[in-house]
Amino acid sequence: MNVGFIGTGTMGRPMLANLVKKGVAVFAYDVVPAALQSAVSAGAKAVASAADAARHGDVVVTIVPSSSNVVSAYLDTGGVLDGLKRGQLCIDMSTIDPGTSRRVAEAVRARGGRFLDAPVSGGVPRATDGTLAIMVGGDAGDFEEARPILGAMGTNVIHVGPAGAGEVAKLCNNLVAGVAAVAVSEAFRIAEGFGVGAKVLTEVIAKSSGNTWVMEHMHPVPGLVEKAPSNRDYEPGFTTDLMAKDLGLAVTAARELRVPVFVAAAAQQVLRLASSHGLGRKDFSSVYRFLRPSSPEAPV
Ligand code: NAD
């Protein structure tokens, strides 16, 4: 089995490394030479364009940052469509807006290909272990065909529904995680102000109704969870900018559906502010750093 793999960044690199470990021949492409080089050091062969990746692959996998990158990777000159073979299966694992995902799926189908949206959750640790959660939208038969490839990268692989449904599930999940990151950071700042230690508060919340994956795995306070980005000066992990993007996708989707959303929009703006204060490329748990108290002399 050959896979054309496009987007070899933070997530793509460990994901393709797991394909290589399973004996898959990976033909990789990234617009950034350093990212492509890191894919080569993980065992992939470099190719010159997304179209070339499609030409070499039985299946195409894409994992790039945002909707516009997916459109570009598939539809630009030298993109996947230029190298697409009849009946070829494309699996986009990026987190993007469901509407764009459906449009790209349509463009792939119009050229005789097949398309699944299959965004992931679990971050770099689970991408490295091959234990990502993968939520898939698209045809059930295509999903079954993709299972072995997805199974090399993730353990919880769920068919959610038709085209775009994987992206919808992913946005809903990240709405919860993004809001939780802000809430956890606020809670630990308040506790600190009252002299309640972060360690004991973690023990309390872990056994109480406020427990959350974000606190268990991405604890914003350094020194409490060994693998948390906060212990590496908030090196990502999952960047503040990507989480702000995902909350924005959730807010936009909600607006189109006339669903009122308030906390998702508020959390998105907090993350945007953190980004504009220099934390955009840090892990999203660095929002804790941003939410430090102002001067004790400030009026309350
Ligand atoms: P990243 O920025 O580290 O890597 C993305 C790579 O895609 C980069 O190397 C970039 O150069 C490349 N790229 C962009 N446009 C391209 C194009 N047109 N053709 C070829 N390569 C292109 O981002 P990431 O953290 O790996 O995230 C990728 C996707 O996975 C995002 O949609 C993100 O929301 C999602 N995701 C990330 C995490 C995480 O923890 N980082 C977790 C779950 C989901």
pLDDT of residue 30: 98
pLDDT of residue 198: 98
What backbone torsions phi and psi does residue 250 show, to the nearest 5 degrees?
Answer: -65, -40
Q: From the CA of 246, give the closest atom in ligand 1.
A: 34
Distance 197 CA to ligand 1 centre (A): 36
108 touches 81 (CB < 8 A):
yes
* Strand ranges (E), 30-118: 45-46, 59-62, 89-92, 114-117
- The answer to whether the CB of 74 is under 6 A from ligand 1 is no
Q: List the domain boundaries for the chain.
A: 2-161, 168-290
Average pLDDT over residues 249-272: 96
pLDDT of residue 125: 86
Q: For 258, which DSSP code?
A: T
H-state helical runs in 233-293: 240-256, 263-274, 287-290
Distance 64 CA to ligand 1 centre (A): 4
Task: Choose between 62 and 122: higher pLDDT.
Answer: 62
Pairing of strands 132-137, 120-121: antiparallel
Closest residue (by CA) to atom 20 of ligand 1?
A: 30
pLDDT in tens, 166-223: 999 999 999 999 999 999 999 999 999 999 999 999 999 999 999 999 999 999 999 9
What is the three-class DSSP state of 163?
coil
pLDDT of residue 254: 95
Catalytic residues: 170
pLDDT of residue 103: 97
Q: From the CA of 121, give the closest atom in ligand 1.
A: 43
Mutate to test the pocket of ligand 1, among 6, 27, 30 (most ligand atoms within 8 A of CB): 30
pLDDT band at 123 (very low <50, low <70, confident <90, very high): confident
State which CATH number among 3.40.120.10, 3.30.310.50, 1.10.1740.10, 1.10.1040.10 fits the domain covering 168-290: 1.10.1040.10
Mean pLDDT of the chain: 97
Closest residue (by CA) to atom 1 of ligand 1?
A: 9
Distance 34 CA to ligand 1 centre (A): 14
- The answer to whether the CB of 131 is under 6 A from ligand 1 is no
Distance 95 CA to ligand 1 centre (A): 9
| Domain at 2-161, CATH class | alpha beta
- The answer to whether the CB of 118 is under 6 A from ligand 1 is no
pLDDT at 38 exceeding the cut of 90:
yes
- The answer to whether the CB of 120 is under 6 A from ligand 1 is yes
Question: pTM for the whole thing?
Answer: 0.93
Distance 244 CA to ligand 1 centre (A): 14
